[in-house]
Amino acid sequence: MPDIQLSIRDLRVHYVTEEEDVKAVNGISLDIERGQSLGLVGETGAGKTTTALSILKLLPKPTGQIASGSIMFKGKDLALASEEEMRKIRGNEISMIFQDPMTSLNPIFTVGDQIAEVIALHTTISAQEALKRAGDMLELVGIPRGRSNEFPHQFSGGMKQRVVIAIALACNPSLLLADEPTTALDVTIQAQVLAMIHDLKTRMKTSLLLISHDLGVVAQVCDTVAIMYAGKIVEHGPLAKVYEKPLHPYTEGLFGSIPVLHEKKKRLKPIQGLMPNPADLPGGCVFHPRCPYAQGPCSTTVPRVTEKGDRKVLCLMYEGIIENRMGVADV
């Protein structure tokens, strides 16, 4: 039996204003096993960050609302948890790393104090012991403990993100949410930080939800991948299989948009068009206005999840409703 750490079922999240109802997440389901890492991939506006903010119940108020669905974590439905319950969970059992380290660090406190503060908040140890543990955490992420008295501006971008990771891991959380953790870093530092996240995850047996628009980043760290489009997960499965043979036309389009160095492709094939306005989603399959395989029923029939072995896909081609023109019916 798989040891499921986080289980999301049919989650719907809306941003409601007087003018419009923005459907940011439209019925997603996913599981993350203990110690496993799931990459959530998609373009800006697909609903990835909203999914992570829902797990921590940090949706902007008052517009952001969980409309329905459940988020089960250690036997508790976080969708129904009180603010007091969430305060005990955040930073302690579930931590989040944001894209820009400068928004996560306080410029007027030393990095050691900032790590120690999180430890002191969630444990009963003395302030002195918390500071010692802060030094341990710095060493864990490859920063000498002697630098714990320095301020964020004394660190480079990559080092600052290491400090943010030290804060996120300070209380040994069971689940780490990382939202584009390396996007603000240059490519060399990005590789180092990703290698470190992978190493720490393995050593500390932390489950990871890694959010990224970058298929390469996800490939370096994740075991499974979920592809998100217009608030829905359109494809989900083991990373190696999805990367080897995408089932969904959108996944195929994402791979067609990135250059492959060892292949002589004449031309990249980017996905035509733009992500739909989440306040005005198209009927039928949400991808049909951009899909090169769209056929008549795609504009009227909403696809349901089809299971293909250990993979899932949301497309009428796999329900047998329309002709499968991708030629990957068997996986």
Amino acid found at 231:
G
Query: Which is nearer to ligand SF4, 133 or 248 (by Cβ)?
Result: 248
Query: Which is nearer to ligand SF4, 175 or 316 (by Cβ)?
Result: 316
Could you tell me the smallest distance in angstroms from the CB atom of residue 67 to ligand SF4? 23
Query: Which is nearer to ligand SF4, 78 or 294 (by Cβ)?
Result: 294
CB 309 within 8 A of CB 331: yes
Could you tell me the smallest distance in angstroms from the CB atom of residue 15 to ligand SF4? 25
Could you tell me the smallest distance in angstroms from the CB atom of residue 224 to ligand SF4? 21
Could you tell me the smallest distance in angstroms from the CB atom of residue 283 to ligand SF4? 11
Overall residue count recorded for the chain in this entry = 331
- CA 75 to chain centroid: 21
Query: Which is nearer to ligand SF4, 166 or 233 (by Cβ)?
Result: 233
Binding site for ligand SF4 (CB under 6 A): 249, 285, 287-288, 291, 293-294, 298, 303, 315-317
**Whole-number Å distance between alpha carbons of 134 and 128:** 10
Could you tell me the smallest distance in angstroms from the CB atom of residue 136 to ligand SF4? 49
Could you tell me the smallest distance in angstroms from the CB atom of residue 261 to ligand SF4? 28
Query: Which is nearer to ligand SF4, 81 or 331 (by Cβ)?
Result: 331
Could you tell me the smallest distance in angstroms from the CB atom of residue 183 to ligand SF4? 27
Question: 53-58: which pairs have CB atoms within 8 A and are 24 or more residues apart?
Answer: 54/11, 54/13, 54/25, 54/79, 55/6, 55/8, 55/94, 55/175, 55/177, 55/209, 56/86, 56/89, 56/90, 56/94, 56/96, 56/177, 57/81, 57/83, 57/86, 58/90, 58/96
Query: Which is nearer to ligand SF4, 15 or 293 (by Cβ)?
Result: 293
H-only helix segments in the chain? 48-55, 83-89, 101-104, 111-122, 127-140, 157-169, 187-204, 215-221, 239-244, 249-256
- Write b or e for each residue in 262-288: b if 16 or more Cβ atoms lie within 10 A of its Cβ, otherwise e: eeeeeeeeebeeebbebeeeeebbbbb
Query: Which is nearer to ligand SF4, 57 or 312 (by Cβ)?
Result: 312
9 Cβ partners below 8 Å, 6+ apart? 29, 69, 70, 72
Could you tell me the smallest distance in angstroms from the CB atom of residue 42 to ligand SF4? 14
Q: What is the DSSP string of 76-90?
A: EEGGG--HHHHHHHB
Query: Which is nearer to ligand SF4, 73 or 293 (by Cβ)?
Result: 293
